[in-house]
């Protein structure tokens, strides 16, 4: 069915963005199911599946556009506003996964239906792993932005699956924010050699983020990542959701 999307078990939730360029911004997250990578190399005591949202996006919940719109229109009992109002007031519509561009055709239809229904275009930011080329609709029509988290060899997936230079070059052209999960000097050499220098990503578009799956792990790793930021002159990205709410998902 064309008027459906597969959402994760998180479905939609209103929170603050935890990472990268928009860290701290009020955001409505729509987490989609399915991913083309595993990130098994990120596994830790507090994130045993590697990817910290695997438990959610690995489940498929087929939802019609109408069901999603109805969820957005439910009034908050404390503010007497709904999520559509929050988006109209400037909250970011964060479309994430998994990898959201797996469902790109349906997403374009969904956003067109959203604009037709509510008569405005929300601020859209995609969380993507940089392996699937975004359609021109996102850049030419709705002026979406992109938060790209390319996966280094530390993520555990084969290079031919996780490293797509043509896609990364296109995202760079459109000013994407790039955040790299790092922990070591070896990770930094890969960031610099294969991404910043080869893809020609401007340094001002790069954030370094600790490899961690909980508040405690973030505390352990952040000092070393901060030192890498200081040494190589890159921006540090916290993981605010871990700082505030601890583990990304309870397991």
Residue range 1-27, pLDDT digits in tens:
579 999 999 999 999 999 999 999 999
What is this structure's pTM? 0.92
pLDDT at site 251 = 36
User: pLDDT digits over 124-157, tens only?
Assistant: 999 999 999 999 999 999 999 999 999 999 999 9
Kindly list the domain boundaries of the chain, sorted by start residue: 4-245
Residues 203-223, mean pLDDT to the nearest whole number? 92
CB atoms inside a 10 Å sphere around CB 133:
14
Distance CA 102, CA 112 (A): 18
Look over the chain and give the mean of its residue pLDDT values, rounded to a whole number: 93
Highest mean pLDDT among 73-77, 198-202, 208-212, 240-244: 198-202
CATH assignment, 4-245: 3.20.20.70
Residues 75-100, mean pLDDT to the nearest whole number? 94
Contact 110, 5 (CB under 8 A): yes
Report residue 201 CA to chain centroid gap.
Answer: 18
Report residue 37 CA to chain centroid gap.
Answer: 14
Give the burial string for 53-77 (b: 16+ CB within 10 Å, else e).
bbbbbeeeeebebebbbeebeeeee
pLDDT at site 88 = 98
């Amino acid at each position: 069915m064309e008027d459906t999307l597969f959402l994760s078990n998180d479905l939609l939730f209103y929170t603050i963005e935890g990472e990268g360029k928009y860290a701290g911004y009020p955001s409505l997250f729509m987490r989609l199911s399915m991913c083309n990578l595993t990130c098994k190399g990120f596994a830790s005591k507090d994130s045993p599946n590697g990817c910290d949202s695997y438990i959610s996006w690995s489940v498929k919940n087929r939802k019609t556009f109408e069901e999603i719109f109805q969820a957005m229109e439910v009034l908050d009992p404390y503010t007497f506003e709904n999520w559509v109002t929050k988006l109209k007031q400037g909250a970011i519509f964060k479309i994430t996964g998994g990898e959201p561009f797996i469902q790109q055709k349906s997403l374009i239809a969904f956003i067109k239906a959203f604009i037709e229904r509510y008569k405005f275009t929300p601020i859209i930011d995609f969380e993507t792993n940089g392996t699937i080329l975004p359609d021109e609709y996102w850049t030419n029509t709705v002026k979406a932005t992109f938060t790209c988290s390319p996966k280094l060899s530390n993520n555990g997936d084969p290079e031919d699956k996780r490293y797509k230079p043509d896609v990364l070059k296109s995202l760079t052209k459109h000013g994407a924010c790039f955040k790299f999960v790092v922990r070591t000097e070896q990770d930094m050499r890969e960031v610099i050699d294969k991404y910043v220098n080869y893809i020609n990503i401007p340094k001002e578009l790069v954030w370094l983020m600790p490899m961690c799956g909980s508040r405690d792990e973030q505390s352990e790793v952040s000092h070393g990542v901060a030192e890498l930021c200081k040494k190589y002159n890159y921006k540090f990205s916290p993981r605010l959701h871990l700082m505030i709410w601890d583990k990304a998902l309870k397991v």
